[in-house]
Chains A and B, each alone.
Chain A
Amino acid sequence: MIDVPASDPWLILLVVVPLLAAPLCVLLRGPAGAWSVATAVSWGVLGIAVKLLGDVLERGTLRYRIGGWDAPWGIEYLLDPVGAFVVVIVAAIGAVVLPYAKSSVEKEVRSDRIYLFYAMVLLCLSGLLGIAVTGDAFNLFVFLEVSSLSSYVLISLGRDRRALTAAFRYLIMGTLGATFYIIGVGLMYQMTGTLNIQDLTTIIPAVADTRTVLAALAFLTVGISLKLALFPLHLWLPNAYTFAPSAVTVFLSATATKVSAYVLLRIFFTVFGQVDLFAHFPLQPVLMAMALAAMFLASLTAIWQQNVKRMLAYSSVAQIGYTVLGISLATEAGLSGAIIHLFNHALMKGAAFMAIGAVVYATGAVTLDRLAGMGKRMPFTMAAFVVAGLGLIGMPLTAGFISKWQLITAALESGYWPLAVLILLSSLLAVIYVWRVVEAAYLRPVPANEAWAATDRVPVGMQVPMWVLAGASVYFGTDASFTLELAHTAARALMGGY
């Protein structure tokens, strides 16, 4: 009899608390009540997430058996350093976005729908956290759909009517992706008879050479790449981010794609962890090519955008490229580069979208020409944008530098020196698109017909979260010892299995 692993009840509470707070918001019906519940829950969840991260680092992988059923018959939740890191990213962004959302949502969403908005945010949060803690491949699909369906609703709540078509397109692409994922899981189940991820890890090597498992891998990769918006499957992303309410854009850009990247890591390095995946299948050149295409083509597209939200959305596609590039190296250094970039990018892009959301809140301006002189009209907000933008470029002393440094080191370590050059070159493209905003905001005069009076009349509730994220991106850029250590631990855990 092997020893029964200790159960950690915080693991299930992490998911269940936001899940049950969502119907509570529906019952409350008032915008203020719903917001209070959602904010309190998001902070509570952050507390749980931080506690869990500490426990994982101290005691190793945590487990929880739902309903008291042992794995692999029951659904088991487990949390290792990678999962814990992703959980902290999602929970932290949730806790920062909800205070920000209050004023922003009041302005952008019809007041009788606000309580439903917060219910959806909580469901989305619960789904994203669930993906990170579940140890069951099918349960992962359920959480994927919980988070996706609620994010389609959140996007469709945008004021512009194009938010509807953006949400519809995302729904079609997202559902296709999720269905691809269950086809993959089904094929694996057919060969292995198990859905438990840990069980799959041990059984897959015996059947890894069959065509069924090969097909499963292909379906899983394509399905999750759709969710991840990996180039060229990113077509849903720009419009969805552009027309969603500001708070939703911040939340999704900083969490949804990160969690998808986590699922990709899980498939490649846990489910297929005992198979020398990259030696067996021509996965590496394909992933690398996609990643490089994303880095360059998406950045180039970003340069031509007039709408700053859409520009940042294309920049997100490019940043996903960096993450996937790290994954495609399949070395410990590469993976830690990818993992730390998930965290750093969440901070930077969150801050950038929050800043532009504040500009939209105060003035309604989102295009470059209307941003003219904004540096004088809204100095604090634009300063936060610049800090975030420097991070996107990868300037030293910002979090973006740490990710890029880590990725370049990883590329050199693996002997791919051209990759290192390409990473630097693509950063130059980021300089151009960030510069276009800076040029408009600081060097162009304020148009005569625009009132000066709009100066930073942004509520404190929006300013503080924005500066928390911008400040964090500087802090983790100057002192990255903790995050780097964490990313290395996570990457080692991934390479070594649960």
Chain B
Amino acid sequence: MCNSNLKETNEMELLFDASSENEGFSRVAVAAFMTGLNPTLEEVSDVKTAVSEAVTNAIIHGYGFVKQEEEVKNKIRLHCSTQGKNIRISVEDKGVGIEDVHKAMEPLFTTKPELERSGMGFAFMEAFMDEVQVYSVVGEGTRVVMEKTLGKDCE
């Protein structure tokens, strides 16, 4: 289970509407995609939670203030690639962007307390993945890139 070929790679990309009903779909899609890596149940849960947080952020914060044009719907691009036991997930929106990424990533910080956002989104991504990077340009959008190496327990 642990001696998978390090050179083995796989890749997939999804483009979907930024609507909350796609939160479930996107995390399940990633969970299905990563089954080839023989993950543990906990690893699958970790990745699903992280994906859910990133996608929810894109919907609520990325596109939360953007008026949705009837013809051009807001989209989220989710890209996944694996190499050996490593999975890399990128969640990208073309929303408002984040002014202060460092502050946005602080636990409990939220710009939307009225929506009862707990401010734990980035903290959960960081807790459940090995690495989280956020690239954001105000007015252009945000890209969250997360990585995790599976099978650490067997080393």
Chain A partners chain B: no
Footprint of A on B, CB under 8 Å? none
